[in-house]
Structure 1
Amino acid sequence: MRLGVFDGNRLAVSTDTEVIDVTDLVPGPDTPQGPLQRLLEQNLGHVLAAPEALRDSPRIDPEKVAWSAPLPRPHKIIGAPANYRAHVAEMNNPNTIAEWGLFLKAASSVIGPDEFVRLPYSDVRTDQEAELGVVIGRRARNVSREEALDHVFGYTCVLDITIRSTEDRSTRKSFDTFTPIGPFVVTRDEVGDPDDLELRCWVNDESRQHSRTSLMIYSVPRLIEYASSVMTLMPGDVIATGTPEGVGPLADGDRIAMEVEKVGRLEVGVTADGALPYVSRLGRGTN
């Protein structure tokens, strides 16, 4: 099942031919976390799986649907740095996820498809990093690798936008607009093995990244095992599983597109409107 959010607070199932509004099947008030978060917290995925649920729900003209981020404010966004050896090599640093561990990104950095990444600095390189995103479906704490996928609801596309500067990863990757997600979350049953998916990324017409998740150092089950040994994973948490080689600088007016096999295609723009020189940033120095 392919789930998306439109009009800010409407949850839909998207098929190859139609968009089905299932918001009324997920009770509860509107919140900044959105209707998909409500579904996950109430464990209502089985409700949508019932044939009569989709049969009796209203259809929306696909041409009139503008998708937004499926999880606009997840409780946690967990990043996996240096999780492809070829990316480790291109960054000229021998450390991998085994040495770096995990990092967190601010939930306020999320945007949806066709929105714009805003470059904060005019003179510091900012890169695209295309990644498979894992959406947690039920609470996970100290889960084994063998049981890890039982805690997954589905998968999505994630762009982990990154400034190449001296600050900690959570600072360099948490600017507003630095985590495009979507447009869909595809349920685990439709994706199958998350560790054997093709991943591609383009900037404008240039192919920058082309790899497979089979080349990850820590597989999806191992990432979940590791993350859940450190922190409790909650429904709606997103794990960005790391990026392959091919990261590169972004510029004003660029268009980023990424695809993950069986998961979908995410596209966003880039703007430098309001960008400032790095030396003018707040937080610099000791004063």
Structure 2
Amino acid sequence: MKLLSFVTSEGTPGVGALTQAGIADLSTLVPGRTGLSPMRTLLTQTDHAEILGAATDAPVLDPESVILQPPVPDPSKIVAAPVNYLDHKEEMSQAVHISSLGVFLKAPSSLTPPSGTVRLPYHDRRFDQEGELAVVIGRTASHVPEDRAADHIFGYTCLLDMTMRGGEDRSTRKSFDTFTPMGPYLVTPDEVGPVDDLELRCWVNGRLRQRAALKDLIWNVPRLIAYISSVMELHPGDVIATGTPAGVGEVHDGDHIAVEITRVGRLEVGVSSTGAVSSPTLGANRGPKPPAEVTPVR
């Protein structure tokens, strides 16, 4: 099942399931004025079987009549895994990886919808693309053992962890507005299958920059959920960005970025530097050193 969040032409937020006929409108499953997006309300109050049953008889919307939003527009947190592929560790000349670094947080306000635009804030700093698989939590998770982690996964989606290079803290460099494109769909585990069978690819202007098997994650999805839930309680709709492989590289005004993951979907966004100003912080040329040239795809 592929779920999605949308806004109608009248500006009303909604949630639906992608079907052959169009978008099955599931908005009637969620009460209004909960303070949460329809998707988060759905994940909090409804199980897979109920959603699937409702989609069978729901009114169908024309996909052209709505504007897609990030699958979960309002997660309570986005937790990200730094240096979670060995080839990325090598290209960044890092001495350590996730086992030493733990995880970091990205601001939920950095989310941007599929087909949106990443806006570069400064004209004097380097910005890179990082394609990633994202996991969306479906049940509250606290101190979850690895062998029970799958019970807490609602689904998967594509994510771009846009990054300013430099010595500032990761949560700063990766949390600018629009720096977390996500989508287009939230795909349930039964449709995705084993994560180890998935492949991630990322292009900039049609040139393949990143290609990796998800089985090459240093910390796999169950281990990430077990560790993160031992640090902080995870809630339905929370997002885990699992890390990026080698092939990160600089992006510029006018670029087009696409990330595609087997059976999960394809996310595409543009890049703009309109309104960019000088950076007020002094982290340039500090911190991890990205490669001057894009690491060749293996």
What displacement does 1:152 show? 0.4
- RMSD of Structure 2 on Structure 1 (CA): 1.7
SS at match of 2:82: coil
- In structure 2, the residue matched to 1:272 is 273
- In structure 2, the residue matched to 1:35 is 38
Amino acid at match of 2:2: R
- In structure 1, the residue matched to 2:78 is 77
SS at match of 1:146: helix
SS at match of 2:250: coil
What displacement does 1:202 show? 0.6
Task: State the distance in 2 between where 1:196 and 1:65 align.
Answer: 32
Contact kept? 2:141, 2:152, Cα under 8 Å: yes
**Inter-CA distance 30–142: structure 2 relative to 1 (3 Å threshold):** closer
* Cα offsets for 1:64-109 (capped at 9, x unmatched): 3331111112101000000000000000112100011100000100
Residue 38 (structure 2) pairs with residue 2 (structure 1): no
Structure-2-length-normalised TM-score? 0.90
* Cα offsets for 1:143-193 (capped at 9, x unmatched): 111000110000011100010011010010011111111111001111121
- In structure 1, the residue matched to 2:50 is 47
Amino acid at match of 1:42: Q
Task: State the distance in 2 between where 1:175 and 1:66 align.
Answer: 22
Amino acid at match of 1:46: A
Task: State the distance in 2 between where 1:67 and 1:111 align.
Answer: 10
Could you tell me which runs of 5 or more consecutive residues in structure 1 were left unpaired when the two chains were aligned: none
Task: State the distance in 2 between where 1:179 and 1:261 align.
Answer: 20
SS at match of 2:203: strand
- In structure 2, the residue matched to 1:26 is 30
* 4+ aligned runs moved over 3 Å, structure 1: 280-284
Task: State the distance in 2 between where 1:110 and 1:252 align.
Answer: 19
**Inter-CA distance 17–246: structure 2 relative to 1 (3 Å threshold):** farther
Task: State the distance in 1 between where 2:159 and 2:213 align.
Answer: 15
- In structure 2, the residue matched to 1:14 is 18
- Larger displacement relative to structure 2 (71-80 or 4-13): 4-13
Task: State the distance in 2 between where 1:164 and 1:283 align.
Answer: 8
Identity of aligned residues (%): 53
Contact kept? 1:74, 1:236, Cα under 8 Å: yes
- In structure 2, the residue matched to 1:123 is 124
Task: State the distance in 1 between where 2:26 and 2:176 align.
Answer: 32
Could you tell me which runs of 5 or more consecutive residues in structure 2 were left unpaired when the two chains were aligned: 285-298
Task: State the distance in 2 between where 1:16 and 1:135 align.
Answer: 24
Contact kept? 1:157, 1:265, Cα under 8 Å: yes
- In structure 2, the residue matched to 1:243 is 244
SS at match of 1:71: coil
Amino acid at match of 2:252: A
Contact kept? 2:21, 2:60, Cα under 8 Å: no
What displacement does 1:17 show? 4.2
Amino acid at match of 2:153: V
